[in-house]
Amino acid sequence: MFRPYDMHMHTDFSTDSETPMEDMAEAAVRKGLRGIAITDHYHPDYPNPVHRTGQPTPAYHRAMERLAEAYEGRLEVFKGIEMGVLPGETMARCEAAARDYHYDFILASFHSTRERTFDDLARDKRVTTEQAFRMYYEHVLMCITLFKDYDVLAHLNLLDRYAPYVPADSLYTDVVDEILKTAVADGKGLELNTSSWRYGMGDRTTPTAAILRRYRELGGEFVTVGSDAHSAKWVGDHLNEGYQFLREQGWDYCVVYRQRKPCFVKL
């Protein structure tokens, strides 16, 4: 039987989760997973100060090492982080954080500009939804043109979840294309974030079939699958749907990252 890897989850080292790391690992073992990546937030300049603090801290690194040791032979634990990348001094902080510790896996994510979250922007009546989508993707492109210390782009079409509706893809495919070309040229991967099934987003999978197809056409090879669970209940959630979806899109492999290197896993 295929035993899945869940490559994206949060613990009480993130401000938006209250679940101890051990509880996430226990749930993963109970659900028959082969491995999990702990990817707590590092959001040094998030607009809301409540969520601004974050990993990495020595305590976080020690906790992941203890977990990996405690579960050796039962569950592979990948030491990861989800970085909220922003331009300017934030980028330097993210670069320093990436070098500071031997992570297995670094997710780059784009939840906000320095001033506001994209969640907020998507609902702002003064900006059209179309404008919000372009602003978001242009922000991602600007960031990854400069920032290279990551492995995988997390939930690339995040705005699909927040916006009141999703405008026609054609309004921003030019920017998405540049993002994908940059990612491929840099040897970076995409994340299939299975929360789109949890949120009932139907065809708007994260990313969409069209984005995955284009990534592959451009020579992209690396796709991780992760639940983005913030509590034990959601560990491993909809992973099988995710793998099935990948197979339907013609992928034979997904990847996991060990010491920042992509390792293929046959689906």
Task: Using CB under 5 A, list all residues that contact Zn ion.
Answer: 82, 109, 228
Least distance in Å: CB of 250 to Zn ion? 27
Do residues 227 and 237 touch, judged by C-beta distance below 8 A? yes
- The nearer residue to Zn ion, 46 or 215, going by C-beta atoms, is 46
Do residues 45 and 31 touch, judged by C-beta distance below 8 A? no
Residue closest to Zn ion when measured from CB atoms: 109
- The nearer residue to Zn ion, 55 or 109, going by C-beta atoms, is 109
- The nearer residue to Zn ion, 109 or 157, going by C-beta atoms, is 109
**Within 10 Å of residue 135's Cβ, how many Cβ atoms?**
18
- The nearer residue to Zn ion, 40 or 76, going by C-beta atoms, is 40
Least distance in Å: CB of 128 to Zn ion? 24
Least distance in Å: CB of 74 to Zn ion? 24
- The nearer residue to Zn ion, 35 or 84, going by C-beta atoms, is 84
Least distance in Å: CB of 224 to Zn ion? 12
Question: Given the structure tokens 């900006």, which residue do they identify?
Answer: 127
Cis peptide before 56 (omega within 30 of 0): yes
Least distance in Å: CB of 109 to Zn ion? 4
CA count, 13 A, side-chain hemisphere, 264: 6
Do residues 257 and 263 touch, judged by C-beta distance below 8 A? yes
171: buried, middle or exposed (CB in 10 Å: 19+, 13-18, 0-12)? middle
Question: Given the structure tokens 């869940």, which residue do they identify?
Answer: 6
198 token code pair = 């949890």
Least distance in Å: CB of 154 to Zn ion? 5
Do residues 218 and 210 touch, judged by C-beta distance below 8 A? no
Question: Given the structure tokens 């670094």, which residue do they identify?
Answer: 106
- The nearer residue to Zn ion, 151 or 228, going by C-beta atoms, is 228
β partners of residue 42: 83
